[in-house]
Amino acid sequence: MRVIIESTPEAASRRAAQMVARLVRQKPVCTLGLATGGTPLKLYGELIRMHQEEGLDFSRVTTFNLDEYVGLPPSHEQSYRYFMQKNLFDHINVDVRNTNVPDGRALDFEKYGERYEQLIEDAGGIELQVLGIGTDGHIAFNEPGSSLGSRTRLKTLAPETVRDNARFFGSEKAVPKLAITMGVGTILESRRCLLLAFGENKAEAIAATVEGPVTAQVTASALQLHREVVVVLDEAAASKLARREYYEEVENAHRMLETGKLPWIEEA
């Protein structure tokens, strides 16, 4: 994993947006995996700005979202389709026909999960998957104990997730207890992953994900097995990392490589 630590969520979100924009510019026909929740909001805001002020073109991009609550129609203010329309799709030139959010009203979730997987495959797979992380270390709605080889399926939300999401619904009682979600195995098949985390309440989960053992109890830890993962954090989310100094050295090396200034070569 490449770990990038920025001073604030805003700076970290700008850094992440630059990575997404670089892919879209280099490969206009690409497939993005997208996340919902509070973490990616500033990332999406920066992508909107890039589209409106810099001409970042999403017209040939296809998107797949990670998950959706069961039972919520797309028009519901807490559905993830509504979230994506309000916070990204309505403000860029993406073709809505190329945006995919799981259907929480599917009648046969097993068949629907298989269909969603096929849609991803038919699109050529996900080039870059944006991820957030729960306070218990889950990605998408792959709660602790989920199979690390799991596919898109129905999932029961853990009490921690219900509590975390109650702020959006007004109470824990109002939070749906079921969701349809991409599996860990599905996520690991994306070509690149971009994991974002901000705030001290995510610090323990990030430390377990980056530096702990690979375990189904922290499903984000499976990202250690992925070939290309970038973790972008603010200072608070990085506060419990034991090898922070090394991660900063890695970033310094990347910057030197990008500028072509390698002092050990000059000294030689």
Q: Considering the candidates 143, 164, 234, 235, report the single residue annotated as catalytic.
A: 143
Active site residue 136: yes
Residue 19 CA to residue 10 CA, distance in Å, equals 15
Q: Considering the candidates 51, 138, 164, 234, report the single residue annotated as catalytic.
A: 138
Residue with tokens 């499976």: 222
Residue 49, sorted as left (phi over 0), alpha (psi -120 to 50) or beta, turns out to be alpha
Residue 62 CA to residue 200 CA, distance in Å, equals 33
Q: Considering the candidates 67, 68, 164, 234, report the single residue annotated as catalytic.
A: 67
Residue 71, sorted as left (phi over 0), alpha (psi -120 to 50) or beta, turns out to be left
Positive or negative, the Cα torsion across 46, 55, 66, 247?
negative
- Contact by Cβ (8 Å): 122, 159: no
Active site residue 6: no
Q: What are phi and psi of 86, to 5 degrees?
A: -70, -40
Q: Considering the candidates 136, 164, 234, 235, report the single residue annotated as catalytic.
A: 136
Q: What are phi and psi of 240, to 5 degrees?
A: -110, 10
- In three-state secondary structure terms, 27 is coil
Residue 197 CA to residue 252 CA, distance in Å, equals 21
Residue 102 CA to residue 11 CA, distance in Å, equals 30
Active site residue 95: no
Which two tokens mark 198? 């901000």
Number of H helices and E strands in the chain, helices first, is 9, 10
Active site residues: 67, 136, 138, 143
